[in-house]
Amino acid sequence: MWDDEVALAKLTRLALWGTAALMLWAGVVMLSRLDSFDLREIKIVGAHHVTTEQAKLVVQQRLTGNFFSTDLEATRAAFIKLPWVRDASVRRQWPDGLVVTLEEHKPLARWNDDALLNSYGEVFKAASDLSLPHLSGPAGSEHEVAQAWMDYEKILAPLKSKPVAVTLNDRRSWWVTLDNGMSIALGREQAAERLARWVKLYPTTMASLGVAVGGVDLRYPKGFAVRLLATKPGDKAQAVQGQGKSV
Protein backbone atom coordinates (compact mmCIF):
# COMPACT_ATOMS: atom_id res chain seq x y z
CA MET A 1 0.00 0.00 0.00
CA TRP A 2 2.80 2.40 0.90
CA ASP A 3 4.26 1.88 -2.59
CA ASP A 4 0.90 2.68 -4.23
CA GLU A 5 0.98 6.40 -5.01
CA VAL A 6 -2.72 6.48 -5.96
CA ALA A 7 -3.77 4.86 -2.69
CA LEU A 8 -1.53 7.19 -0.70
CA ALA A 9 -3.01 10.21 -2.46
CA LYS A 10 -6.55 9.08 -1.62
CA LEU A 11 -5.59 8.44 1.99
CA THR A 12 -3.94 11.87 2.22
CA ARG A 13 -7.05 13.59 0.84
CA LEU A 14 -9.26 11.64 3.25
CA ALA A 15 -7.09 12.66 6.18
CA LEU A 16 -7.16 16.30 5.08
CA TRP A 17 -10.94 16.28 4.73
CA GLY A 18 -11.29 14.63 8.12
CA THR A 19 -9.01 17.20 9.73
CA ALA A 20 -10.93 20.05 8.08
CA ALA A 21 -14.26 18.64 9.26
CA LEU A 22 -12.92 18.24 12.79
CA MET A 23 -11.62 21.81 12.81
CA LEU A 24 -14.94 23.09 11.47
CA TRP A 25 -16.85 21.21 14.15
CA ALA A 26 -14.52 22.53 16.83
CA GLY A 27 -15.01 26.05 15.48
CA VAL A 28 -18.77 25.73 15.55
CA VAL A 29 -18.64 24.45 19.13
CA MET A 30 -16.44 27.36 20.17
CA LEU A 31 -18.69 29.87 18.43
CA SER A 32 -21.81 28.35 19.96
CA ARG A 33 -20.38 28.94 23.41
CA LEU A 34 -19.76 32.62 22.89
CA ASP A 35 -21.82 35.03 24.98
CA SER A 36 -23.09 36.64 21.78
CA PHE A 37 -25.30 33.57 21.21
CA ASP A 38 -26.93 33.63 24.62
CA LEU A 39 -30.72 33.76 24.37
CA ARG A 40 -31.82 37.33 24.90
CA GLU A 41 -35.35 37.43 23.51
CA ILE A 42 -38.21 34.95 24.00
CA LYS A 43 -41.24 35.98 21.96
CA ILE A 44 -44.60 34.49 23.03
CA VAL A 45 -47.32 34.38 20.37
CA GLY A 46 -50.98 33.48 21.00
CA ALA A 47 -51.06 34.08 24.75
CA HIS A 48 -54.43 35.30 26.03
CA HIS A 49 -54.86 33.51 29.34
CA VAL A 50 -51.19 32.70 29.90
CA THR A 51 -49.72 35.59 31.87
CA THR A 52 -46.34 37.25 31.42
CA GLU A 53 -45.37 36.00 34.88
CA GLN A 54 -46.15 32.39 33.95
CA ALA A 55 -44.11 32.64 30.74
CA LYS A 56 -41.18 34.20 32.60
CA LEU A 57 -41.26 31.42 35.18
CA VAL A 58 -41.01 28.77 32.45
CA VAL A 59 -38.08 30.60 30.87
CA GLN A 60 -36.26 31.01 34.17
CA GLN A 61 -36.80 27.48 35.48
CA ARG A 62 -36.90 25.32 32.34
CA LEU A 63 -34.94 27.01 29.60
CA THR A 64 -31.25 26.04 29.38
CA GLY A 65 -28.48 26.52 26.83
CA ASN A 66 -28.05 29.17 24.18
CA PHE A 67 -29.32 29.77 20.64
CA PHE A 68 -27.66 26.58 19.35
CA SER A 69 -27.85 24.23 22.30
CA THR A 70 -31.29 24.86 23.81
CA ASP A 71 -33.61 21.86 23.56
CA LEU A 72 -36.65 22.99 21.57
CA GLU A 73 -38.76 19.92 22.46
CA ALA A 74 -38.05 20.31 26.16
CA THR A 75 -39.01 23.98 25.92
CA ARG A 76 -42.25 23.04 24.14
CA ALA A 77 -43.04 20.45 26.82
CA ALA A 78 -42.51 23.03 29.58
CA PHE A 79 -45.01 25.46 28.02
CA ILE A 80 -47.61 22.73 27.44
CA LYS A 81 -47.69 22.15 31.20
CA LEU A 82 -49.18 25.62 31.74
CA PRO A 83 -52.91 25.41 32.63
CA TRP A 84 -54.38 27.15 29.57
CA VAL A 85 -51.99 25.75 26.94
CA ARG A 86 -53.30 22.97 24.69
CA ASP A 87 -50.26 22.85 22.39
CA ALA A 88 -47.11 24.83 21.61
CA SER A 89 -44.42 25.11 18.97
CA VAL A 90 -40.92 26.56 19.40
CA ARG A 91 -38.47 27.81 16.77
CA ARG A 92 -35.17 29.64 16.82
CA GLN A 93 -34.97 33.24 15.64
CA TRP A 94 -31.49 34.37 14.60
CA PRO A 95 -29.28 35.37 16.28
CA ASP A 96 -30.36 35.24 19.93
CA GLY A 97 -34.07 34.52 20.22
CA LEU A 98 -36.82 31.95 20.37
CA VAL A 99 -40.41 32.24 19.15
CA VAL A 100 -42.96 30.26 21.16
CA THR A 101 -46.40 29.95 19.55
CA LEU A 102 -49.15 28.84 21.91
CA GLU A 103 -52.49 27.23 21.14
CA GLU A 104 -54.70 27.92 24.11
CA HIS A 105 -57.78 25.97 25.13
CA LYS A 106 -61.06 27.52 24.00
CA PRO A 107 -63.42 26.86 26.93
CA LEU A 108 -66.81 25.41 25.99
CA ALA A 109 -68.20 24.57 29.42
CA ARG A 110 -67.42 23.70 33.01
CA TRP A 111 -66.95 19.98 33.55
CA ASN A 112 -68.09 18.29 36.75
CA ASP A 113 -66.90 20.14 39.86
CA ASP A 114 -63.31 21.07 39.15
CA ALA A 115 -62.49 21.25 35.45
CA LEU A 116 -63.26 22.87 32.12
CA LEU A 117 -64.13 21.38 28.74
CA ASN A 118 -62.60 22.83 25.57
CA SER A 119 -64.06 23.09 22.07
CA TYR A 120 -62.51 19.70 21.20
CA GLY A 121 -64.32 18.01 24.06
CA GLU A 122 -61.09 17.70 26.06
CA VAL A 123 -60.94 18.20 29.82
CA PHE A 124 -58.43 20.64 31.27
CA LYS A 125 -57.97 22.40 34.58
CA ALA A 126 -57.64 26.16 34.83
CA ALA A 127 -59.14 29.04 36.78
CA SER A 128 -61.83 30.97 34.91
CA ASP A 129 -64.52 33.51 35.78
CA LEU A 130 -66.27 33.11 32.42
CA SER A 131 -70.01 32.46 32.39
CA LEU A 132 -70.14 28.93 30.99
CA PRO A 133 -72.70 26.11 30.93
CA HIS A 134 -72.11 23.37 33.48
CA LEU A 135 -71.80 19.86 32.03
CA SER A 136 -71.47 16.74 34.17
CA GLY A 137 -70.99 13.07 33.47
CA PRO A 138 -68.91 9.98 34.15
CA ALA A 139 -65.28 9.85 33.02
CA GLY A 140 -65.07 9.29 29.30
CA SER A 141 -68.47 10.83 28.52
CA GLU A 142 -67.14 14.33 27.78
CA HIS A 143 -67.79 14.25 24.01
CA GLU A 144 -71.23 12.70 24.46
CA VAL A 145 -72.37 15.27 27.02
CA ALA A 146 -70.96 18.20 25.04
CA GLN A 147 -72.77 17.00 21.91
CA ALA A 148 -76.00 16.59 23.87
CA TRP A 149 -75.71 20.15 25.19
CA MET A 150 -75.35 21.48 21.63
CA ASP A 151 -78.29 19.36 20.45
CA TYR A 152 -80.51 20.53 23.31
CA GLU A 153 -79.58 24.14 22.64
CA LYS A 154 -80.92 23.82 19.08
CA ILE A 155 -84.06 22.00 20.20
CA LEU A 156 -84.88 24.66 22.82
CA ALA A 157 -84.27 27.60 20.48
CA PRO A 158 -88.01 28.02 19.60
CA LEU A 159 -88.74 28.66 23.30
CA LYS A 160 -85.95 31.25 23.46
CA SER A 161 -84.48 29.27 26.34
CA LYS A 162 -80.96 27.91 26.70
CA PRO A 163 -79.63 24.91 28.60
CA VAL A 164 -77.22 26.17 31.27
CA ALA A 165 -76.55 22.70 32.70
CA VAL A 166 -76.65 19.17 31.31
CA THR A 167 -76.05 16.11 33.47
CA LEU A 168 -75.58 12.46 32.55
CA ASN A 169 -75.62 10.49 35.79
CA ASP A 170 -74.09 7.10 36.57
CA ARG A 171 -77.34 5.38 35.56
CA ARG A 172 -77.08 7.15 32.18
CA SER A 173 -80.13 9.27 32.82
CA TRP A 174 -80.17 12.80 31.37
CA TRP A 175 -81.11 16.04 33.13
CA VAL A 176 -81.23 19.58 31.76
CA THR A 177 -81.48 22.92 33.55
CA LEU A 178 -82.68 25.96 31.59
CA ASP A 179 -81.59 29.56 31.98
CA ASN A 180 -84.91 30.34 33.73
CA GLY A 181 -84.08 27.81 36.46
CA MET A 182 -86.42 25.06 35.24
CA SER A 183 -85.06 21.51 35.49
CA ILE A 184 -86.08 18.82 33.00
CA ALA A 185 -85.72 15.08 33.55
CA LEU A 186 -85.22 13.34 30.19
CA GLY A 187 -84.56 9.75 31.22
CA ARG A 188 -82.15 7.25 29.72
CA GLU A 189 -83.55 6.67 26.24
CA GLN A 190 -84.49 9.00 23.38
CA ALA A 191 -83.70 12.04 25.50
CA ALA A 192 -83.43 14.45 22.56
CA GLU A 193 -86.67 13.14 21.01
CA ARG A 194 -88.53 13.58 24.31
CA LEU A 195 -87.27 17.14 24.65
CA ALA A 196 -88.26 17.96 21.05
CA ARG A 197 -91.81 16.64 21.59
CA TRP A 198 -92.12 18.66 24.79
CA VAL A 199 -91.02 21.83 22.96
CA LYS A 200 -93.64 21.13 20.29
CA LEU A 201 -96.36 20.69 22.93
CA TYR A 202 -95.25 23.69 24.98
CA PRO A 203 -97.64 26.29 23.44
CA THR A 204 -100.72 24.19 24.21
CA THR A 205 -99.66 22.90 27.63
CA MET A 206 -96.96 24.73 29.52
CA ALA A 207 -97.76 28.19 28.17
CA SER A 208 -101.34 27.95 29.46
CA LEU A 209 -100.46 27.08 33.07
CA GLY A 210 -100.09 30.69 34.10
CA VAL A 211 -97.78 29.84 37.03
CA ALA A 212 -94.05 29.47 37.47
CA VAL A 213 -92.73 25.98 36.82
CA GLY A 214 -89.79 24.56 38.76
CA GLY A 215 -89.35 21.30 36.91
CA VAL A 216 -90.69 18.97 34.25
CA ASP A 217 -90.42 15.18 34.14
CA LEU A 218 -90.56 13.79 30.61
CA ARG A 219 -90.00 10.17 31.58
CA TYR A 220 -93.68 9.23 31.31
CA PRO A 221 -94.88 7.21 28.31
CA LYS A 222 -97.95 9.46 27.81
CA GLY A 223 -97.72 13.00 29.00
CA PHE A 224 -95.35 14.62 31.47
CA ALA A 225 -95.29 15.74 35.08
CA VAL A 226 -94.90 19.39 36.09
CA ARG A 227 -93.61 20.67 39.42
CA LEU A 228 -95.03 24.12 40.14
CA LEU A 229 -93.13 26.67 42.16
CA ALA A 230 -94.77 28.16 45.25
CA THR A 231 -96.62 31.32 44.21
CA LYS A 232 -96.66 32.93 47.67
CA PRO A 233 -95.14 32.31 51.10
CA GLY A 234 -96.54 29.15 52.64
CA ASP A 235 -97.66 27.57 49.38
CA LYS A 236 -96.32 24.15 48.48
CA ALA A 237 -95.20 22.98 45.09
CA GLN A 238 -97.65 20.72 43.26
CA ALA A 239 -97.31 17.98 40.70
CA VAL A 240 -99.67 17.75 37.75
CA GLN A 241 -99.83 15.24 34.92
CA GLY A 242 -99.66 16.62 31.42
CA GLN A 243 -102.25 15.04 29.17
CA GLY A 244 -102.44 14.63 25.42
CA LYS A 245 -99.95 13.24 22.92
CA SER A 246 -97.32 10.77 23.97
CA VAL A 247 -94.12 12.40 25.16
Q: What's the pLDDT at 164?
A: 98
Same fold for the domain at 35-104 and the one at 107-241?
A: no
Instruction: Indicate the fold that domain 35-104 takes in CATH.
Output: Ubiquitin-like (UB roll) (3.10.20)
Domain ranges of the chain: 35-104, 107-241
User: What pTM does this model have?
Assistant: 0.76
Q: What's the pLDDT at 243?
A: 41
Q: What's the pLDDT at 140?
A: 95
Q: What's the pLDDT at 16?
A: 58
Q: What's the pLDDT at 95?
A: 86
What is 107-241's CATH number, 3.20.20.70, 3.20.20.140, 3.50.50.60, 3.40.50.11690?
3.40.50.11690
Q: What's the pLDDT at 218?
A: 96
Q: What's the pLDDT at 242?
A: 46
3-state DSSP of the chain: CCCCHHHHHHHHHHHHHHHHHHHHHHHHHHHHCCHHHCCCEEEEECCCCCCHHHHHHHHHHHCCCCCCCCCHHHHHHHHHCCCCEEEEEEEEECCCEEEEEEEECCEEEEECCCEEEECCCCEECCCCCCCCCEEECCCCCHHHHHHHHHHHHHHHHHHCCCEEEEEECCCCCEEEEECCCCEEEEECCCHHHHHHHHHHHHHHCHHHCCCCEEEEECCCCCCCEEEECCCCCCCCCCEEECCCCCC
Using one digit for the tens of pLDDT, what is the confidence trace for 43-59? 999 999 999 999 999 99
Which residues in the chain show pLDDT less than 70? 1-37, 230-247
